[in-house]
Amino acid sequence: MDDENDLNVAHVLVLPDRDAAEEAAEELARRYELGAEPEIVRESLAGEDDAEDAQWLIVLSEEAGEFSAGELDEFVSEWDGWHETP
C-alpha cells in the first residue's frame, strides 16, 4: 500500500521542551555523524492550547541510518525524554 503521507519514519524521540529537543538533535547529529540535524516537530498535547503543554519530537527517517531501540532510549534519557517506534 503506497501512502503519499508516509515519511519513512523509523524512530521518534520525545523531549519535554524545545531547548532539550534542540540540544539533543545537535548532539545526535554530532555523535552519530548524521551530516545534518534531524527534524524537530512540536506536538501539542490533546486538548491543550498553551504552548507550555507540548512535547517536542525528533524525527529520524530510515535514511538517517540504523539505530537500536536501546541505544536511542539511552541517548534520549540524557534529556529526560523517551524513544518511540512509530
Return the pLDDT at 12: 93
Place of cell 486538548: 47
Helices 18-31 and 69-77 sit at what angle, rounded to 10 degrees?
130
Distance CA 58, CA 15 (A): 8
Q: Write the CA distances from 1 to 5, 63, 64, 68, integer angstroms.
A: 12, 20, 23, 26
Mean pLDDT by 10 residues, the chain (86 residues): 55 93 94 88 69 80 78 94 86
Return the pLDDT at 56: 94
Return the pLDDT at 52: 58
